[in-house]
C-alpha cells in the first residue's frame, strides 16, 4: 500500500457544530474518537432514548444538511468542565455546562433564538454514556484523503476547505481516490490499526462553506456528474487501540 501521512485530526463534540483540532489522540478498539459526536441537538421529538441508546437518523437533529447557519458559529467544548461555548464573529452568544440541567437549558434557549424558523419542536441536547451520534450505526473514524479533495476542487473550479467533509483524520500522500481501493483492508495509523469499512456517501452538508454558513456549491451533484458516485472519504473501525498523532505514517 502507498504510504501516507496524517496531516490533521479533528473531533466534533456536538453534532453539526464546530470541528476541534487535536495534535494527538488515543484510539480504542470499537470506538470513535473520544467525545466525537458526544452530543446532538434534537430538532423536535427524535425517539432517542438515553436509557437505551440506539442509532437515530441524522435528520432528527440540527445538522448542516438542513441548517447551514450552524456553520457560522464558532463552538468549543471543554472536557473537564463539560462546558460548551458558542461564539459568532468573536462575540460570545451562549455558554453552558452540559452536565447540568441549567447549562443545557441555556444552550437550548440559544438555538430557539438562533434558528426559530427551522425548528420542528423544542431543541433538546441529547447525550448517553458510550453513544456517538454518528451518521452511521457502527462506531467509526472518518478518514479524508486530501488528494481526493484536491481532485474535486479542480472539478468545481474553486478552492475547497477540506473541513466541508467533517472528517476525523485527514491524510496526505495517497493518490486521489486511492482510499476506495482499501475498503475491506486493514491499515495502521501511528499505534492503532483499523479496518476500512465503507465509502462515505455525501449529502448537502458538504455544500456549506465552513465558517460562513453559506450554501455555495452542490458537491454531491459535482461528484455524481464527474465520477458517477457521490462518495468522498472512508469510514474505518478501530480494531487495535493506540495513540495517533499529526505526522504519523499510515501504512499496512
Does any domain span residue 131?
A: no
- Give the model's pLDDT for residue 252: 82
CATH code: domain of residue 233: 2.40.33.20
State whether 71 and 99 are in the same domain. Answer: yes
State whether 163 and 246 are in the same domain. Answer: yes
Supply the range of the domain harboring residue 112. Answer: 40-126
Mean pLDDT per 10-residue section of the chain, whose length is 252 residues:
93 98 98 98 96 96 98 98 97 98 98 97 96 97 98 97 98 98 97 98 98 97 98 98 98 88
- Give the model's pLDDT for residue 2: 87
Does any domain span residue 213?
A: yes
Number of separate domains in the chain: 2
Q: SS3 string of 150-170? A: HHHHHHHCCCCCHHHHCCCEE
Whether this prediction's pTM lies above 0.95 is answered by yes
| CB contact at 8 A, 236 and 189 | no
CA angle 134, 128, 197 (to 5 degrees): 25
Of 93, 126, 159, the last residue of a domain is: 126
State whether 26 and 147 are in the same domain. Answer: yes
Q: SS3 string of the chain? A: CCCEEEEEEEECCECCCCCEEECEEEECCCCCCCCCCCEEEEECCCCCCCCCCCCCCHHHECCCCCCHHHHHCEEEEECCCCEEEEEECCEEEEEEECCCHHHHHHHHHHHHHHCHHHCCCCEEEECCCCCCCCCCCCCCEEEEEHHHHHHHHHHHCCCCCHHHHCCCEEEECCCCCHHHHHCCCEEEECCEEEEEEEEEECCHHHHECCCCCCECCCHHHHHHHHHCCCEEEEEEEEEECEEEECCCEEEC
Dihedral sign from CA coordinates of 158, 163, 166, 167: positive
Amino acid at each position: 500500500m502507498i504510504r501516507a501521512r496524517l496531516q490533521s485530526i479533528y473531533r466534533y463534540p456536538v453534532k453539526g457544530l464546530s470541528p476541534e483540532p487535536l495534535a494527538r489522540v488515543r484510539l480504542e478498539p470499537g470506538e470513535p474518537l473520544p467525545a466525537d459526536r458526544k452530543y446532538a441537538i434534537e430538532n423536535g421529538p427524535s425517539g432517542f432514548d438515553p436509557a437505551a441508546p440506539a442509532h437515530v437518523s441524522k435528520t432528527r437533529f440540527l445538522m448542516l444538511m438542513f441548517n447551514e447557519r450552524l456553520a457560522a458559529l464558532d463552538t468549543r467544548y471543554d472536557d473537564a468542565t463539560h462546558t460548551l461555548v458558542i461564539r459568532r464573529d468573536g462575540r460570545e452568544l451562549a455558554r453552558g455546562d452540559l452536565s447540568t440541567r441549567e447549562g443545557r437549558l441555556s444552550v437550548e434557549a440559544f438555538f430557539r433564538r438562533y434558528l426559530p424558523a427551522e425548528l420542528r419542536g423544542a431543541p433538546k441536547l441529547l447525550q448517553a454514556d458510550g453513544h456517538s451520534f454518528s451518521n452511521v450505526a457502527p462506531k467509526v473514524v472518518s478518514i479524508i484523503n486530501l488528494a481526493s479533495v484536491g481532485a474535486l476542487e479542480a472539478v468545481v473550479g474553486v478552492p475547497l476547505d477540506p473541513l466541508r467533509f467533517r472528517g476525523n483524520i485527514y491524510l496526505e500522500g495517497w493518490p486521489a481516490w486511492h482510499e476506495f481501493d482499501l475498503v475491506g483492508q486493514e491499515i495502521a495509523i501511528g499505534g492503532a490499526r483499523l479496518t476500512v469499512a465503507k465509502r462515505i456517501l455525501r449529502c448537502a452538508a458538504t455544500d456549506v462553506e465552513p465558517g460562513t454558513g453559506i450554501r455555495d456549491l452542490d458537491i454531491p451533484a459535482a461528484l455524481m456528474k464527474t465520477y458517477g458516485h457521490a462518495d468522498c472519504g472512508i469510514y474505518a473501525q478501530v480494531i487495535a487501540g493506540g495513540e495517533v498523532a499529526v505526522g504519523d505514517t499510515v501504512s499496512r
